[in-house]
Every structure is written in C-alpha cells, then in structure tokens.
Amino acid sequence: MQSREWRLARRPVGMPVMADFELATVDLPAPAEGEIRVANRFLSVDPYMRGRMIDRPSYAPPFRLGEAMQGGAIGEVIESRAEGFAPGDLVSSLWGWREAWVAPAAGVRRINPPSGIAPQAYLGVLGLTGLTAWSGLTQLGSPKAGETLFVSGGAGAVGSMVAQIGRILDLEVIASAGSAAKCDWLRTLGVQAINYRDGDITRQLLAAAPKGIDIYFDNVGGDHLQAALEAARPFARFVECGMIAHYNDSAPQPGPSNLMYVVGKQIRMEGFIVSRFAALEDEFTATMTGWLTKGLIRHEETIVDGLAQAPEAFLGLFCGGNLGKMIVRV
C-alpha cells in the first residue's frame, strides 16, 4: 500500500509559501506484531506547527527537512496486529499530514465518539483545542462570576471555546476577530465582539469594557496584548496561550510599550503549554461532553477537502481563513 505525505522541503522565512512544502509518495510496510495500519480521515493544522518549522530548541521538536511532518489526526484502523485494536476502530494519533501510516499501537488512543459527536471533534472541541481553552481559563484565569474576560482570536478554535466557557462561567465576555462576519457570529454566542480591522484595538476595547477587564486570554499578542494591558483592572490575570501575530516574524519584535502596567496594576501574567494540564483530561472530557449534551457549546469547523490542500489550510490560519477549528478531510 502507498501513502502520500507532506514534508517540509525548506525552512520558511516569514509567511510560509507552497515551495516550503513537498508532497511525497511512500510505500507502507505490512504491520509487524504490535502495529496497526491506519487510514487517516481528518487532520489537524495548528498555528504551533509554524514554530516547528524553525530549527531551534522548543517544547515541540523542529520538523526535520525531507521527512513527513507530524500533527493531530483521526484515522480508521485498516489492519491490526495489536491487541485491543480491530479494523474499523477510530484512533487519535500524531501521525498527521499523511494519508495512511503503519506504527506501534502504543501511543495511539482509541476513540468512541458518543452519538451526535463527529470523530473530528477529537481534534477540536474534545481534543487539545478544548483542553487548551478550558484548562487555560479555569486553571490560570481564576475566573469569578461577574468578571470581564477579553479573548483575542475569539472566532478561532481555542478562542471560540474560551468565549463560550466564559459565558457558562457567568463572565462578561469581549472577543476580538478579524472580520464583520466573524463578529456577527460571536454575537450569537452572547458575547461582545470587536473587529480589530475596524481601527485601534485599544480604543475599541476601552469602549467595550469601560470598567476594564479582569482576565485576558491571549491568542494573538502584539497590539492585542498592548490593548489588554491598557484595559486591565488591578489584579487582572493574563493567560498567555499564544501570540499568532508574531509567528511569521523574521526578527524578534519589541514587546508592548506599556508592559510596566504589570507592576502598577499587579497583573499576573502566565504562559502555558496545554500538555501541562494533561492530568486534567478526564475531568475536561466529562465537563465538555456534559456541556455539549446540554447544547451549551457550539463548535464550528472549517473543513478543507483533500490531503493536497493541507498546506493551504495551514496557511489559512495566518490570514483568518477559518471560523472555529481548521480541519483537513483526507
């Protein structure tokens, strides 16, 4: 059996281009004892993958040139020589960016979507996206009912979960996004929305939160972080989840010019990587499944069809091409 896979052909400088990627075809071996052969159905493309295209030490190792890239994937077992796995089983793995693979079943998770939940939800609302949003907000945001939360990247995968969890926790929520259509959608979730392309984000945030914000869930960095520092109330908590505005910078950029507010306003600013909260996964899954069953959470997906489109789907993350979770259907 053959499989096509995306490789990193060269390390991008600035915004990646198609020539940085290479589509290769490989022969898959037959599974050995303890291995499974899986056909991927859905792939995740995520902003953090941009960091893995740079050759530097990080929490996730750099992609190697000329080798298949990695990423979240949901696939179907085609052939199994591993105990506990049978053809037809659905599995969640990190063997993304490819059509099919053969590998040890250890390290792969079998999933059993409850009725009404699509398998690809395990790449989004019930996967690392949901865990990132829930754990970041509840563990680091220290939310209290009635407080005001500002979340940037509000119409994206993590941001739209943060916004809705904020509402469930009785927070006043302000979410930013990059288009009028995304802001209209955010308002249907019961949150205030600001379009950062409509002008100065600080001015818009101060108008939306005249009494200031208690929690900032940062997905963007840059001018959004500057605005949040300006609007922060004393003892605000800044949950530093990501700074996508900087992922394609070719040189380090200066930080916010008003960072000194951290002192005077006694702000607690903490970054995190979702793996830190892996031990909370069962609690998260039970909580999120409950919210989904009660219809309290909406999870949009932007599905791009075909493995060949995976790089375009990935690049789309940096120009707002997605509402909710960006997913590639193989």
Sites of contact with ligand NDP (CB under 6 A): 46-48, 129, 132, 153, 155-159, 177-179, 182, 219-220, 241-242, 244-245, 272-274, 317-318, 320, 322, 326
Q: Which is nearer to ligand NDP, 132 or 226 (CB)?
A: 132
Residue with tokens 């929520």, as numbered in its chain: 173
Q: Which is nearer to ligand NDP, 192 or 322 (CB)?
A: 322
Classify residue 121 by burial, with Cβ atoms within 10 Å: 0-12, 13-18, 19+: buried
DSSP string of 234-280?
Answer: EEEEEEE---GGGTT-SS-----TTTTHHHHTT-EEEE--GGGGGGG
Q: Which is nearer to ligand NDP, 157 or 165 (CB)?
A: 157
| Burial track 292-316 (b if 16+ CB lie within 10 A, e otherwise) | beeeebebbbbebeebeebbebbbb
The candidate with the shortest Cα–Cα distance to 233, out of 261, 207, 258, 259, is: 261
Q: Which is nearer to ligand NDP, 31 or 242 (CB)?
A: 242
Q: Do 136 and 270 form a contact (C-beta atoms < 8 A)?
A: no
- Interior CA angle at 301 toward 295 and 306, to 5°? 145
Q: Which is nearer to ligand NDP, 31 or 154 (CB)?
A: 154
Q: Which is nearer to ligand NDP, 215 or 317 (CB)?
A: 317
Give least dist CB 22 to ligand NDP, A. Answer: 24
Give least dist CB 72 to ligand NDP, A. Answer: 10
- Interior CA angle at 143 toward 220 and 259, to 5°? 45
Give least dist CB 48 to ligand NDP, A. Answer: 5
- The partner residues of 79 in beta bridges, in order of sequence, read 37
Specify the 3-state DSSP secondary structure of 99. coil
- Look up residue 323 and give its DSSP letter: S
Question: Rounded CA gap, 194 and 176, in Å?
Answer: 5
Question: Rounded CA gap, 165 and 173, in Å?
Answer: 10
Question: Rounded CA gap, 320 and 175, in Å?
Answer: 15
Q: Which is nearer to ligand NDP, 177 or 297 (CB)?
A: 177
Q: Which is nearer to ligand NDP, 70 or 219 (CB)?
A: 219
Give least dist CB 181 to ligand NDP, A. Answer: 9
